[in-house]
Structure 1
């Protein structure tokens, strides 16, 4: 597809990375010459300096040839206007990044009445991912398929685990439940294992099963944790607002620590059932005064990766059952795992996945992609899709399909 991408910030370049990897023809628009030049050099794409909402700039970016405009700038209004201009210039599809909670509550209106085909809110997407983990804290990460009936969860095998040093076929027989270990990461390599594959300590497993069977799986291997009922959130970001709102709706206790007094008052007014504390979340004395060691979960959502990491390490040290760390700039999550932080989220990735899933559904209309989940640093993926039309693959038994290596259905 020919795609115009407006905005070369964190989210924009993450989206761009996936688009280039999948062979799309991308032209990037950004009003910062230096940023644009770096983007062009790093990703070998075309670029236009200027305002993405400008008709003249989009024409210069060859809007008449474009199949889609994706607006990921930091300004919501600019993104919405960029999509409207693109549509007026005849671009068939428009995708906008919109972050403001005021707009998030009227996404259906923006899509229906303004003709924007997809609106993505990175903070709302991140909050939804965190919420899934807090509901089932036994897992490191969770992705759902088949209208939330099927889950794929990530877990690390410890040396004393009942899974260690056993072949998969014996594990399934011993546990007596329906599940599939669909991928294993070991020493930087990933494998799609067969029944004779032997699980080793420190392997990272990706387990897929129905929801109830996932619960039983973790109970039988002794790693089940009840859902988090008391959650401390450090930092008063937009993600904090979305996450706390959903937690409170589920009757979960929420305590927020925010250093900026004005922002703390805003959150307190918007979330009256939450306990909002004005203070520095990296202050250990304050954290212990507020009972960090008694929490079921701690989620670090400040604007600084380093601060989130340090606070999360403290929470791990005092044995908080579930610790979730947000990172924005850190590019090597393996290092965080090695120092004890297993559940790390990067909001920009959730946005990129959602946009990529939408593009794939348009690129292959006969096989509509419903869910797309990338893991192991994007070297592997799980996809759910409908086969809506007859093809050479329909009516064929799975054992007779000629699949690429390291592929499983």
Structure 2
């Protein structure tokens, strides 16, 4: 597929990297020479220096011949105008990253399609939804719901002296035979391991486990996590992510006590008027004295979502030092993500990765249903439908030779959700949950083609 990407920032760079690895024909358009230079030095894609709102520059970048336009610059207006123009120039499909949620609201007087936008991406809402899930599961560092919520991919740290330390997966399968789960990846000191039955779990491994939703509490206990209930929550930052998150938390039936700290007085006043069930304070959310005065030591969860990602990390570390059970920091630089658990933060949420995942899901075509990247892991979770020409239908999985870099985690039929074993058989129409490294994705598409 020929894809034109407007914007060479973090989102554009990561998207270009993933798509070029999947052998798409990618062109990156940006007005900033410095941003393009990073793309030129690291990726095998075409680059054009120009303005995404200029018809001439869009034509120079190949808009007339492109199958898809992805506008992901840092400016909403540029993304909207770029999609409008690209659609007029003949691009078949247009995706725009827009921070302001006004266009996506049901009562909006103008719909995205009327502006030539086929898919509208709102990364701040995606990030808020991810944080909301993490708060509801205190022991998890990552949660990806699958199969309409019947199954979860859970990221969790193996604590020191937990019951699973120094045991291989074959031993654990026998010991926990009554629990329906599968370890699909291990992150160990920055290295991604796709495990087999002989792989052993070590202290402080960050493991990714496919489990039925009802099995998460048993998983947390086995990996050494206590039953941690969240009651009091402090949110640092009342920006778009903080506002959406606070609204979601206040609408839950958990009876949480929530404090939100916002430095801008007008924003704080507006939030106080909108969020009646939340105590909104005007102050610097990175000030240790203010946080101490407002009782950070008494909090069960501390979520830092200000626009200063370094301050988010430092504030979350300080909260962890004060023994807050759950700490979450919002970042935008992908290089901060692998550091999160190494330095003690429970979860890192990358707002730009959320945008990249959402865009990527809409670029993928055919029978690939869900695509989700994972923090600190060089792989992604994919849900794919087995078509009539799927090469591995009606055979036990233990008799199939799979490409390197791919693990089948679960099968979803009309009647059942099943953790995959060697005896599992894929039938036509089944949905298959895979854990795949980037180099193996073309092989996956070959195996599961319609």
TM-score normalised according to structure 1 size: 0.91
Q: Does 1:300 align with 2:304?
A: yes
Distance 1:173 1:33 in 2: 57
**SS of the residue 2:160 aligns to:** coil
Match of 1:192 in 2: 194
Q: Does 1:271 align with 2:275?
A: yes
Distance 2:152 2:9 in 1: 32
> What are structure 1's unaligned runs of at least 5 residues?
none
Match of 2:52 in 1: 52
Distance 1:181 1:75 in 2: 40
Question: Are the structure 2 counterparts of residues 211 and 397 from structure 1 closer, same or farther at C-alpha, using a change threshold of 3 Å?
Answer: same
Query: Equivalent residues in 2 for 1:166-177 (5 A)?
Result: 166-175=167-176, 176-177=178-179
8 Å CA contact 1:18, 1:352 repeated in 2? no
Query: Equivalent residues in 2 for 1:282-321 (5 A)?
Result: 282-321=286-325
Question: Are the structure 2 counterparts of residues 112 and 396 from structure 1 closer, same or farther at C-alpha, using a change threshold of 3 Å?
Answer: farther
TM-score normalised according to structure 2 size: 0.83
Query: Equivalent residues in 2 for 1:155-304 (5 A)?
Result: 155-175=156-176, 176-251=178-253, 252-304=256-308
Question: Are the structure 2 counterparts of residues 86 and 74 from structure 1 closer, same or farther at C-alpha, using a change threshold of 3 Å?
Answer: same
Question: Are the structure 2 counterparts of residues 258 and 69 from structure 1 closer, same or farther at C-alpha, using a change threshold of 3 Å?
Answer: same
> What are structure 2's unaligned runs of at least 5 residues?
409-450
User: CA offset at residue 231 of structure 1?
Assistant: 1.5
Question: Are the structure 2 counterparts of residues 192 and 38 from structure 1 closer, same or farther at C-alpha, using a change threshold of 3 Å?
Answer: closer
Distance 1:316 1:253 in 2: 19
1:77-103: CA deviation from partner (whole Å, max 9, x where unpaired): 321222122122221111110111322
Distance 2:211 2:28 in 1: 40
1:25-74: CA deviation from partner (whole Å, max 9, x where unpaired): 22222233443344434434333333313322211211121010000122
Question: Are the structure 2 counterparts of residues 301 and 332 from structure 1 closer, same or farther at C-alpha, using a change threshold of 3 Å?
Answer: closer
Distance 1:161 1:199 in 2: 10
Distance 2:221 2:45 in 1: 49
Question: Are the structure 2 counterparts of residues 6 and 342 from structure 1 closer, same or farther at C-alpha, using a change threshold of 3 Å?
Answer: same
**SS of the residue 1:408 aligns to:** strand
8 Å CA contact 1:358, 1:369 repeated in 2? no
8 Å CA contact 1:190, 1:376 repeated in 2? no
